[in-house]
């Protein structure tokens, strides 16, 4: 396999497999937030604040994957 | 009809955007692909090249002045200028400018107090608020029209913009992350004392107890204490590692979000020139605010953990 094909394959695999984790994490965070909101609608402020905080932490993992893909695609030259 | 006023708003906003979208689609690169129409002069956006390192504008001796540095100077000028301007003549019943400044300061102080508690809020407030204002002003100034477009042409015919979003250079998030790390350690040492704070990392307390019990002859409790003492020591060393990892994670979180936003706006304004970028600018506004909140909020949370005395789980 030529290096260009390998490069394209690696970028695609890295992006596709890598975004799976953060997406799942964000879905779980939203799920638990909705559940606790349904149980206790009065705690809305605290629940939403913490949800956004943890959401951004999980989002960061996706950003790390994006950085790896950008580096693989644009910076690595053969 | 009940929604009469609403229809006028739709007409005046939605229809021009649709028209611009159609025009941009037909005359942009997508239209050139579908219909074969050549883009006229005003729609020729340069093909987006992703340039991760910041472009130097001029060299002062060995130091290269990059465009992100100039942009962060602009941020500093804007922040310092605004704060000087708005607090010029302070009155007990504030005018409009002073009221806006008070709104910002009080909002940030409430945020800090809600996480850190009233006792430590005043100590943590200045740096956390500065991190928030710096990151958000960097992010929002980057959406102005002259950022990234007005610049000098380099020798190989590539445009080096005079201003570029300061958060898209790795150095800016790295510098704020290093400052955040140093500040958290400083707050911990200032509140708990240097030796007590550092002893949480090299935790030989239970190990020492275990050896003393061994010398005193109580083998049973000595073995337990030595075993858990080693585990505590290891956990303390892991804490050091986790503190250092925070610097890296702060850096790449902010850098990645801002660079991804910049690339998104470049690519979307290249594909369909005129109206397609409007939702992406909205997304950039939201992401700038959230990232500033996250950076300052995480610094605040780690600082709160560092200054609160650890309860002994004996």
pLDDT digits (tens, 9 = 90+) for B163-182: 888 898 889 999 999 999 99
Quick one: B21 and B57 in the same domain?
Answer: no
Residues B154 and B301 in one domain: yes
Both structure tokens of B170: 């790795």
Q: Which of A53, A63, A74 sits opposite B260 (nearest CB)?
A: A63
Judge whether residue B78 has pLDDT over 50. Answer: yes
Residues B160 and B29 in one domain: no
Based on the domain organization, do B25 and B54 belong to the same domain? no
Read off the tokens for B250.
């702060």
**What phi and psi, each to the nearest 5 degrees, are found at residue A61?**
-65, -40
Q: What is the rounded distance in angstroms from the CA atom of residue B34 to the CA atom of residue B24? A: 13
Whether B50 and chain A come into contact, CB under 8 Å, resolves to yes
Tell me whether residue A22 is in a domain. Answer: yes
Q: Which of B169, B255, B256 to mutate to test the interface with A (most CBs of A within 10 A)?
A: B256
Both tokens assigned to B285: 């506004």
Count of CB pairs separated by less than 8 Å, A with B:
38
Among chain B residues, the shortest Cα distance to A51 is held by B294
Judged against a pLDDT cut of 70, whether residue B157 lies above it is answered with no
The answer to whether residues B169 and B302 belong to one domain is yes
Q: State the nearest Cα–Cα gap between B47 and chain A, in angstroms.
A: 15
Q: Residues B24, B102: one domain?
A: no
* Identity of the highest mean pLDDT range in A18-22, B49-53, B61-65, B209-213: A18-22
Q: Which of B305, B175, B177, B170 is nearest to B246 (CA)?
A: B177
Phi, psi (deg, nearest 5) at residue B272: -130, 100
Examine residue A78 and state whether it is found in any structural domain, yes or no.
no
In a domain, residue A30? The reply is yes
d(CA B96, CA B119): 31
Judge contact between B291 and B260, C-beta under 8 A: no
* Chain A interface includes B253 (CB < 8 A): yes
* pTM for this model (two decimals): 0.84
Residue B311 confidence class, pLDDT cut points 50, 70, 90: low
Listed by number, the residues of chain B in 270-299 with a beta carbon closer than 8 Å to a beta carbon of chain A are: 290-291, 293-294, 297-298
pLDDT of B202 higher than 90: no
Paired residues of B64 in beta bridges: B59
| Mean pLDDT of chain A, nearest integer | 88
Whole-number Å distance between alpha carbons of B99 and B103: 6
Nearest of B188, B205, B202 to residue B238 by alpha carbon = B202
| Residues of the domain holding B4 | 1-44
Q: Which of B9-13, B53-57, B89-93, B122-126 has the lowest mean pLDDT?
A: B53-57
Q: Does one domain contain both B28 and B125?
A: no
* Count of domains for chain A: 1
Q: Are A13 and A64 in contact (CB under 8 A)?
A: no
Q: How much of chain A, in percent, has pLDDT values that exceed 90?
A: 42
Q: How many angstroms away from the CA of A38 is the closest CA of chain B? A: 24
The token pair at B146 is: 């002259």
Could you tell me the two tokens for B225?
Answer: 């204490």
B257:A63 CB<8 A: yes
The answer to whether residue B232 sits within a structural domain is yes
Domain that holds residue A48: 3-73
Specify if B312 maps to a domain: no
Task: With CB atoms and an 8 Å threshold, state whether A67 touches B256.
Answer: yes
Lowest mean pLDDT across A4-18, B127-141, B207-221: B207-221
| Residue B314 maps to a domain | no
Q: Are residues B302 and B289 in the same domain?
A: yes
Q: Worst-scoring range by mean pLDDT, A25-39, B148-162, B208-222?
A: B148-162
Which pLDDT belongs to residue B156?
61
Q: Which residue has the tokens 């005395």?
A: B309
Q: Is residue B203 part of a domain?
A: yes
B119-B121-B122 Cα angle (round to 5): 100
pLDDT digits (tens, 9 = 90+) for A63-74: 888 888 888 887
In a domain, B74, yes or no: yes
B224 is a domain residue: yes
Suggest the residue from A63, A65, A66, A75 to mutate for an interface test with chain B (most B CBs closer than 10 A).
A63
Does B11 share its domain with B115? no
Burial B17-39 (b: 16+ CB within 10 A, else e): eeebbebbbbbbbbbeeeeeeeb
Counting the structural domains of chain B, the total is 2
> Burial of B265 by CB count in 10 Å (0-12 exposed, 13-18 middle, 19+ buried)?
buried
* Buried b / exposed e along B167-197 (16+ C-beta atoms within 10 A): bbbbbbbbebbeebbebbbebbbebbeeeeb
Q: Do the domain assignments include residue B150?
A: yes
Separation of alpha carbons B207 and B222, rounded Å: 9
Q: A47 to chain B nearest CA, in Å?
A: 14
Parallel, antiparallel or unpaired: strands B151-153 and B159-161: antiparallel
Q: What is the pLDDT of residues B231-257, one digit of tens each?
A: 888 888 888 888 888 888 899 999 988
Distance CA A22, CA A54 (A): 11
Q: DSSP readout, B274-301?
A: TTTTHHHHHHHHHHHHHHHHHHHHHHHH
CATH number at residue A56: 1.20.20.10
Evaluate if residue B314 carries a pLDDT over 50.
no
Phi/psi at B161 (nearest 5 deg)? Answer: -65, 150
Confidence of residue B313 (pLDDT cuts 50, 70, 90): very low
**Residue among B37, B16, B19 at smallest CA distance from B28:** B37
């Amino acid at each position: 396999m030529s290096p260009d094909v390998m490069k394209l394959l690696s970028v695609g695999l890295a992006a596709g497999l890598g975004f799976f984790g953060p997406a799942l994490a964000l879905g779980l965070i939203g799920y638990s937030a909705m559940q606790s909101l349904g149980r206790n609608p009065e705690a809305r402020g605290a629940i939403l604040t913490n949800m956004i905080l943890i959401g951004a932490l999980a989002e960061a993992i996706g950003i790390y994957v994006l950085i790896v893909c950008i580096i693989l695609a644009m910076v690595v030259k053969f | 009809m009940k929604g009469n006023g609403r229809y006028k708003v739709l007409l005046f906003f939605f229809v021009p955007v649709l028209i611009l979208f159609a025009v941009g689609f037909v005359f942009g690169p997508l239209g050139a692909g579908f219909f074969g129409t050549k883009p006229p002069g005003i729609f020729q956006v340069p093909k987006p090249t992703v340039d991760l390192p910041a472009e130097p504008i001029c060299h002062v001796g060995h130091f290269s002045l990059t465009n992100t540095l100039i942009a962060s100077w602009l941020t500093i000028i804007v922040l310092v200028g605004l704060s000087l301007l708005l607090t010029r003549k302070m009155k007990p019943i504030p005018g409009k400018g002073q009221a806006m400044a008070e709104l910002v300061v009080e909002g940030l102080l409430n945020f800090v107090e809600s996480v850190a508690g009233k006792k430590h809020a005043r100590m943590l407030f200045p740096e956390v608020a500065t991190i928030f204002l710096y990151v958000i002003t960097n992010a929002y100034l980057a959406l102005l029209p002259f950022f990234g477009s007005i610049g000098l042409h380099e020798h190989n015919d590539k445009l080096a913009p005079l201003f570029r979003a300061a958060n898209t250079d790795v150095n800016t998030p790295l510098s704020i992350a290093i400052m955040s790390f140093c500040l958290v350690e400083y707050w911990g040492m200032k509140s708990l004392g240097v030796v007590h704070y550092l002893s949480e990392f090299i935790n030989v307390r239970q190990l020492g107890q275990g050896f003393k019990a061994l010398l005193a002859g109580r083998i049973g409790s000595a073995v337990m204490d030595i075993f858990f003492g080693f585990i505590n020591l290891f956990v303390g060393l892991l804490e050091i590692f986790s503190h250092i990892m925070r610097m890296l994670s702060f850096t790449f979180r902010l850098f990645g979000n801002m660079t991804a936003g910049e690339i998104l706006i470049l690519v979307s304004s290249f594909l369909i020139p005129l109206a397609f970028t409007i939702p992406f600018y909205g997304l950039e506004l939201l992401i700038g605010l959230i990232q500033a909140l996250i950076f300052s909020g995480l610094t605040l949370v780690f600082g709160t953990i560092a200054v609160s005395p650890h309860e002994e789980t004996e």
